[in-house]
Structure 1
Amino acid sequence: MLKRRYGDRSNWARIIERRFAQQYVEDEQFTGYMTLLDMIKVSEPLIIRYGEEERCIVDDGYQWLFQFPENQHHTVTTTFNSAGEIVQWYIDICVATGVENGVPWMDDLFLDIVILPTGQVRVLDEDELDEALTNGVITKALYELAWNEVNQLLTLIERNEFGLLELAQKHREVLEEKLEKP
């Protein structure tokens, strides 16, 4: 079964105190929803390992910006540390996006791309996608959709033509102004 992930992550118990803002945008650079999760206080940091490198992606004062481009098969989560620096961009490949009870969501299609500020790019969870196909969770068509989307995005990233990465700071600033005051 595909996992539905919401832009507010309201069910995430790790976040003790939060602020949240969202906005629909329609302009030349981006059409879709963007949300900002401001993690004021968390129960414990979340450290992710990529090969030999460890990165903290959740801690007090961190923010996650979610971009849900309309009519696409991906979303982007940009992690900002407490100093406002980008820790990583995380691209989820998805079957679809939508809005439920006013909150944007995406149905995760297993494959992910991580881009680090160093320029390092990694494709993640190929084994999960293969397992989902083998176990009949997804069809061959969805399997191919996921790989086609990853390959298209990798080409854009390599050419420095994937604009959502560069919009992250701008989108964060817009949403920070909308955050409810602590």
Structure 2
Amino acid sequence: MNELKLKRKYGDRADWTRVVKREFIQDFFDEDGFKGHVTMLKVIKITEPLHAQYGDKKVCIIDEGYTWLQHFPKGARHSVTTMFNVAGEIVQWYIDICYQNGIDNDRPWMDDLFLDIIILPAGEVFHKDADELELALSCGVIDDELYYIAVSEADAIKKQIEGNQLNLLHLTKVHKECLEQRLTSRRI
């Protein structure tokens, strides 16, 4: 396990050495159903593909030609990363529960609070890292307040998923298309 601590994760993933050639674009959206920053990382060349195991399913989450779209909702305690394969199909939605989202030197970020929720396109939902959250509390990495924030936000997200009311799941393709158009016009 990595050293247990709160981690600030940036949307540009500039420190991700697996991706050796990329295109990146970001923008701020202020519309019905979403207000916040959205980043898009288009993977051109990588050192090696990355797979995730969910139960008996092995899912490729990054390979050449994949796109990662990340939403940083303003004022929310979660961030949603949507992974698209080379054909533009959604591979998974990855929801990070976080303490806060923000921006620093024009770089959107989130402070990760360990808990993650993964949704596969067929509707399967997986919950990760509850053990890391418990360990962080018992080791003093987080206090009771941060623990409560993480658990409460995860519960709220679960209810939205169950009720098909998590708006970001419905906006991902629209926002991806918008950012792709802006990226294309930037190339011209």
Superposition TM-score, scaled by structure 2 size: 0.95
| Residue pairs, 1:110-121, within 5 angstroms | 110-121=114-125
The alpha carbon displacement at 1:113 in A equals: 0.3
| C-alpha distance in 1 between matches for 2:177 and 2:133 | 35
Asked if 1:181 corresponds to 2:183, the answer is no
- Which of these residues, 86, 90, 95, is aligned with residue 82 of structure 1? 86
| C-alpha distance in 2 between matches for 1:48 and 1:122 | 12
| C-alpha distance in 2 between matches for 1:175 and 1:40 | 16
Task: Supply the AA of the counterpart residue of 1:24.
Answer: F
| C-alpha distance in 2 between matches for 1:144 and 1:31 | 25
**Equivalences, count:** 182
| C-alpha distance in 2 between matches for 1:170 and 1:27 | 12
Q: Counterpart of 1:59?
A: 63
The alpha carbon displacement at 1:141 in A equals: 1.0
- Which of these residues, 93, 97, 102, is aligned with residue 101 of structure 2? 97
| C-alpha distance in 1 between matches for 2:101 and 2:123 | 27
Write the deviation string for residues 48-72 of structure 1: whole angstroms up to 9, x where unpaired: 1111110000100000000000000
| C-alpha distance in 1 between matches for 2:146 and 2:102 | 18
- Which of these residues, 154, 177, 181, is aligned with residue 150 of structure 1? 154
Write the deviation string for residues 96-146 of structure 1: whole angstroms up to 9, x where unpaired: 111111010000000000000010011110011011001100001111111
Instruction: Structure 1: state its 5+ residue gaps.
Output: none
- Which of these residues, 156, 163, 167, is aligned with residue 167 of structure 2? 163
CA RMSD of aligned residues (A): 1.1
- Which of these residues, 1, 4, 18, is aligned with residue 8 of structure 2? 4
Task: Supply the AA of the counterpart residue of 1:161.
Answer: Q
The alpha carbon displacement at 1:181 in A equals: 3.5
- Which of these residues, 113, 138, 152, is aligned with residue 142 of structure 2? 138
Instruction: Structure 2: state its 5+ residue gaps.
Output: none
Q: Counterpart of 1:34?
A: 38
Q: Counterpart of 2:132?
A: 128
| C-alpha distance in 1 between matches for 2:60 and 2:47 | 14
| C-alpha distance in 2 between matches for 1:23 and 1:112 | 24
The percent identity for this pair of structures is: 50
- Which of these residues, 97, 102, 107, is aligned with residue 111 of structure 2? 107
| C-alpha distance in 2 between matches for 1:74 and 1:19 | 24
The alpha carbon displacement at 1:36 in A equals: 0.2
